[in-house]
Amino acid sequence: PIAADLEGYLRDPKFDAQRVDCWARTPTLLQDLRVCLKQYEAWVGQPTLRWDRLQVPSKKTQRNASPHLPCASYYDGARVQLVAARDPELLAMWKFTCCGQ
């Protein structure tokens, strides 16, 4: 249900990126998570996290292979336009494109 809630939130025409306090992106997940958690602690006004536990996983991270086909194998022109129409805020915010369009 959490994924469905997030998807619904992002599809809502009232979605406002300014309402999001912090983003954790996959390529920089641990670094972003630390930043977000520090912002959270600043917001609540006291240290609440056990930072020593967050340090351990970062030493064990690995990158799994992610072989995939070119974008055009997944999306035709109509699908590219659909993605651009449905998620323009996120695409613009992170300067993403869908298959280079």
pTM: predicted TM-score of the whole model, two decimal places: 0.47
Residues 55 and 23 in one domain: yes
The helix/strand/coil state of 79 is helix
Residue 65: band (very low, low, confident or very high) from pLDDT cuts 50, 70, 90: confident
Residues 93 and 59 in one domain: no
For residue range 8-58, list pLDDT tens digits in order.
766 776 666 566 788 888 888 888 999 999 999 998 898 888 888 777 665
Q: Is the pLDDT of residue 61 over 60?
A: yes
Residues 46 and 82 in one domain: no
Residue 38 sits in the same domain as residue 74? no
Asked if residue 72 has pLDDT above 60, the reply is: yes
Indicate if 24 and 57 belong to the same structural domain. Answer: yes
**Which contacts of 30-37 are long-range, i.e. CB under 8 A and separated by 24 or more positions?**
30/54, 30/57, 30/58, 30/61
Range of the domain at 31: 2-65
